[in-house]
Amino acid sequence: MGGILVVLTLQGGAATPAGLDLLGLAAEIAQVDGGEVTALALGEGGAGAGQGLISRGADAVLYCADPALARHPGEAGMQVLAQAEREVQPDLLLLAADSVGRDLGPRIAARLGAGLVTEATSAALHAGRVEVTRPVFGGKAIARMAATTAQAVITLRPGAGAARAADPSRTGTVRELAVQIAPAANWPTVVRREVEASSGPRLEEATAIVSGGRGVGGPEGFSLLHELAQALGGAVGASRAAVDEGWVPAALQIGQTGKAVAPDLYIAVGISGASQHMVGCARAKTLVAINRDPDALIFDAARLGLVGDYREALPALTRAIRELS
């Protein structure tokens, strides 16, 4: 395989955990199959972040901090990405399946006539080409796919790659990408950004997740889940049903149309175990289910199951964990 171009959006001058996961995946593929990994860092702070990206698996870093990227991530991002692609001529382009990657991935693939696989939940090298898995038929089945074109574009869901530990001895080039961006009046523009307040670890990085579903019955029930998550040093997640009810923000949704997570411990509370939810927590090391229906599907996937009302089970569990720790 030739080179790999990894598209990273910087936040606060640093790569996001999802970006570092992509970089780790690219480095893993390149290690087996050869080829250079180039990180394209979009946003302010690229020069400063460069060496950090090298230490995490990039062989070269191209950065662009043009202010137009913040205001027009789609249109300006496309110009920068197209320029980087011309210079690097990679066989594989990896993007996060986030708002930027979902916008840029299909557009660059169409321009290049490259094969496109979106929303991959894993990717690995098989017989010289990158094969990905992706939920299909509403999450009821997992498809294995690979582009048959010489050049491929893949967007990956959070948790699909694995960040490498920083290796400060790695060396590489860091260079600013020269792109003239002239924003047009009709470009879609970001007018405001709101950062959701949160405490505790991010879902993508949490080693323990307590996730609530429709069975939690309302927003107030989630306070019991927060207490347990806090005792475990973990994070709270949710099923789509709980999000659709408006009990918790959409950012907490786990599953096919939410996040894919890989904690050591996943406690599913009042969640029935629909395939579209399970695809998001399939990589949890230990799954514990608390459900009052003994026939709930979730018990088929759970290593430990507790049949009962979560309102009784959770306070006792939280107390026991606090005593133990």
Ligand X SMILES: Cc1cc2nc3c(=O)[nH]c(=O)nc-3n(C[C@H](O)[C@H](O)[C@H](O)COP(=O)(O)OP(=O)(O)OC[C@H]3O[C@@H](n4cnc5c(N)ncnc54)[C@H](O)[C@@H]3O)c2cc1C
Rule CB under 6 A: which residues touch ligand X? 138, 213-215, 239-242, 253, 255-258, 270-272, 274, 276-277, 280, 290-293, 296, 309-310
Least separation, in Å, of the C-beta of 89 and ligand X?
Answer: 36
Closest CA to 210 of 226, 196, 189: 226
Residue whose CB is less far from ligand X, 161 or 215: 215
Q: How many residues does the chain have?
A: 325
Least separation, in Å, of the C-beta of 312 and ligand X?
Answer: 9
Tell me if residue 281 falls in helix, strand or coil: helix
Q: Torsion angle of alpha carbons 311, 243, 207, 260, nearest 10°?
A: 140
Residue whose CB is less far from ligand X, 53 or 241: 241
Residue whose CB is less far from ligand X, 72 or 157: 157
As a whole number of angstroms, the distance between CA 101 and CA 96 comes to 5
Residue whose CB is less far from ligand X, 61 or 271: 271
| Chain-centre distance for alpha carbon 129 | 22
Least separation, in Å, of the C-beta of 139 and ligand X?
Answer: 6
- Asked if 309 and 292 touch (Cβ cutoff 8 Å), the reply is yes
Residue whose CB is less far from ligand X, 134 or 240: 240
Least separation, in Å, of the C-beta of 30 and ligand X?
Answer: 31
Task: For residue 29, give every residue at least 6 positions away whose Cβ sits within 8 Å of its Cβ, in sequence order, or none.
Answer: 1, 4, 35, 92, 123, 124, 125, 130
Least separation, in Å, of the C-beta of 148 and ligand X?
Answer: 27
Least separation, in Å, of the C-beta of 299 and ligand X?
Answer: 10
Residue whose CB is less far from ligand X, 72 or 240: 240
Residue whose CB is less far from ligand X, 84 or 248: 248
Q: Is 148 exposed, middle or buried (0-12, 13-18, 19+ CB in 10 A)?
A: exposed
Least separation, in Å, of the C-beta of 313 and ligand X?
Answer: 8
- Paired residues of 173 in beta bridges: 60
- Strands (E) in the chain, as ranges, are 4-11, 14-15, 37-42, 60-64, 92-96, 115-120, 122-126, 129-136, 141-145, 152-156, 173-176, 208-212, 235-238, 265-269, 286-291, 304-307
